[in-house]
Amino acid sequence: MATDTATGKARKFFGTDGIRGRTNSDVMTSEMAMKVGQAAGGHFMRGAHRHRVVIGKDTRLSGYMLESALVAGFTSVGMDVIMTGPLPTPAIALLTREMRADLGVMISASHNPYEDNGIKLFGPDGYKLSDKDEVEIEKLLELQPALVDASQIGRARRIDDARGRYIHAVKQSVSSDVRFDTLKVVVDCANGAAYQVAPSVIWELGAEVITLGVTPNGTNINDGVGSTSLGALQAKVVEEKADIGIALDGDADRLIVVDEKGEAVDGDQLMALIATRMHEKGQLTGGGVVATVMSNLGLERYLDSIGLTLERTKVGDRYVLERMKKGGFNIGGEQSGHMILSDYATTGDGTIAAMRVLASLVRSDVPASQLMHVFDRVPQLLKNVRFEGSDPLEDDSVKAVIAEAEAELEGKGRLVIRKSGTEPLVRVMAEGDDATQVESVVDRICDAVKAAI
């Protein structure tokens, strides 16, 4: 459940990144998917033209079920459906706009395990829906759908060239003179949506490519591979003496990198690298970078040192993008690896971000470990506490511990406590120059939350 920023009211179905949940349970059922198709289709049935929607998915077993239900929903209200099969989330955003569709849908639960799934919606401009649109769709979910006459039911078809269209677009995100012939790259696709396109585009630009997580079977997405499980990639990079490792998540909208020593490089360092290179070339707009409250204080200090700003938003790449559009920024992202390069994409795109990193590596002629250590991180610790039932953050004892911690860190660091928008978790993050103090603060708050639960 999330809150509409315009009204302050809680939304029942939409979270920070669409609708998400355990398949065949709660909101993520075939019945719900059909209703979403009917409601979203009804909301975007504007004008007298023949309406259509692009639907993509990742590799989860439940994707077949939800895809069929969505097709039934959209066609029942008169929308034609174009299905792409497994493709990254940013590819669906791209195709929605390129094919002049009225709506785009991605069936994915991103980095979550295969038992979960989700529905992400894009408007005709290729951008994720606004809070206002989501609120309107939620209202329609509670009403009887406006079913069309039998003669007006939509048609559904699959297209075969979607993968090639996306690969071409990704290659266009780097200069035509850039080649990766000197690089040996390990590409981990998390057994997810990019298992075909990401290795292909890097190989086509000349790199020697070693793959991980490219054998999806419906239940192994994000299982021991991908951006949230780096062990296999780190070991493979060292074993193969590769120059760099690329890790995507289940729907390939986020990127984490592993350097030649097997060390992970998070989204903060990648944003710093890309922003620095673009700033040097006079290509950076907005005077800085947009990130969330979770980004490391070290990034903020580094950007300030080179005359750039760090604009912070609440967690969620949609909020990052909203601030980017409002302030004219062309780089934004999250520490977790969502990277929005708005010159090339309308949403986070891990593969396009990887292209920029690989291009910098080729041009720099220094090892990845040196290139991507752009700033020194401030000690930061994040812990999650799973809960059920009422909100533990409303407990008076938890509030008291949080207030004490805020007073202790004042002027020395930051404290961010929030509920996840996609899972029943309380996330507790603290950072400051004193690592021992940071750990103590986080542990005390987590203990208080557990006691309240």
Question: What are the start-end ranges of the H helices in 257-393?
Answer: 267-280, 297-305, 317-327, 350-364, 368-371
Whether 333 has a pLDDT exceeding 90, the answer reads yes
Judge if 138 and 236 occupy the same domain.
Answer: no
Whether 358 has a pLDDT exceeding 80, the answer reads yes
Q: How far apart are CA 243 and CA 90, in angstroms?
A: 26
Q: Tell me, yes or no, whether 169 lies in a domain.
A: no
Structure tokens at 152: 């007006």
Structure tokens at 178: 């850039």
pLDDT digits 0-9 by tens, 209-225: 999 999 999 999 999 99
Judge if 113 and 13 occupy the same domain.
Answer: yes
Mean pLDDT of 397-408: 94
Whether 3 has a pLDDT exceeding 80, the answer reads no
Are 426 and 387 in contact by the 8 Å Cβ rule? The answer is yes
Q: Of the given ranges (116-120, 286-290, 388-392), which has the lowest mean pLDDT?
A: 388-392
Position 7 confidence tier, pLDDT thresholds 50, 70, 90: very low
Q: What is the domain-level CATH number for residue 61?
A: 3.40.120.10
Judge if 365 and 392 occupy the same domain.
Answer: no
In the block, tokens 């890790």 appear at 247
Mean pLDDT of 250-279: 97
Share of the chain above pLDDT 90, in %: 88
Other Cβ atoms within 10 Å of 1 Cβ, number: 11
Under DSSP, is residue 174 helix (H, G, I), strand (E, B) or coil?
coil
pLDDT digits 0-9 by tens, 77-120: 999 999 999 999 999 999 999 999 999 999 999 999 999 999 99
CA dihedral angle for residue 420, residue 63, residue 119, residue 343, rounded to 10 degrees: 90
Judge if 54 and 201 occupy the same domain.
Answer: no
Q: Tell me, yes or no, whether 168 lies in a domain.
A: no
Judge if 385 and 355 occupy the same domain.
Answer: no
Question: For residue 212, what are the β-bridge partners?
Answer: 188
Q: Tell me, yes or no, whether 107 lies in a domain.
A: yes
Q: Tell me, yes or no, whether 175 lies in a domain.
A: no
- Domain boundary among the residues 371, 396, 430 is at 371
Q: Catalytic: 295?
A: no
Judge if 269 and 305 occupy the same domain.
Answer: yes
Whether 342 has a pLDDT exceeding 90, the answer reads yes
User: What per-residue confidence (pLDDT) applies to 5?
Assistant: 43
User: What per-residue confidence (pLDDT) applies to 24?
Assistant: 96
Judge if 29 and 57 occupy the same domain.
Answer: yes
Position 47 confidence tier, pLDDT thresholds 50, 70, 90: confident
- Domain boundary among the residues 371, 399, 432 is at 371
Count of CA atoms in the C-beta half-sphere (13 A) of 335:
19
Judge if 289 and 402 occupy the same domain.
Answer: no
215 Cα distance to chain centroid: 22
Q: What is the domain-level CATH number for residue 391?
A: 3.30.310.50
User: What per-residue confidence (pLDDT) applies to 10?
Assistant: 56
- Domain boundary among the residues 161, 194, 217 is at 161
User: What per-residue confidence (pLDDT) applies to 162?
Assistant: 96
Q: Tell me, yes or no, whether 401 lies in a domain.
A: yes
Number of domains composing the chain: 3
Mean pLDDT of 296-313: 96
Which of 108, 110, 173, 342 is flagged as catalytic? 110
Q: How far apart are CA 294 and CA 304, in angstroms?
A: 17
Judge if 361 and 385 occupy the same domain.
Answer: no
Q: How far apart are CA 7 and CA 298, in angstroms?
A: 34
Judge if 133 and 189 occupy the same domain.
Answer: no
Task: Tell me which residue range forms the domain holding 106.
Answer: 2-161
Mean pLDDT, the chain, as a whole number? 94
User: What per-residue confidence (pLDDT) applies to 410?
Assistant: 87
Mean pLDDT of 68-79: 98
Whether 405 has a pLDDT exceeding 50, the answer reads yes
User: What per-residue confidence (pLDDT) applies to 397?
Assistant: 93
Share of the chain above pLDDT 70, in %: 97
pLDDT digits 0-9 by tens, 314-332: 988 889 999 999 999 999 9
Q: Tell me, yes or no, whether 171 lies in a domain.
A: no
Whether 282 has a pLDDT exceeding 70, the answer reads yes
pLDDT digits 0-9 by tens, 135-184: 999 999 999 999 999 999 999 999 999 999 999 999 999 999 999 999 99
Mean pLDDT of 6-12: 54
Position 121 confidence tier, pLDDT thresholds 50, 70, 90: very high
Q: Tell me, yes or no, whether 167 lies in a domain.
A: no
Question: For residue 300, what are the β-bridge partners?
Answer: none
Are 225 and 238 in contact by the 8 Å Cβ rule? The answer is no
Position 420 confidence tier, pLDDT thresholds 50, 70, 90: confident
SS (H, E, C) 110-148: CCCCCCEEEEEEECCCCCECCHHHHHHHHHHHCCCCCCC
Q: Tell me, yes or no, whether 61 lies in a domain.
A: yes
Judge if 214 and 312 occupy the same domain.
Answer: yes
Judge if 193 and 235 occupy the same domain.
Answer: yes
Whether 4 has a pLDDT exceeding 60, the answer reads no
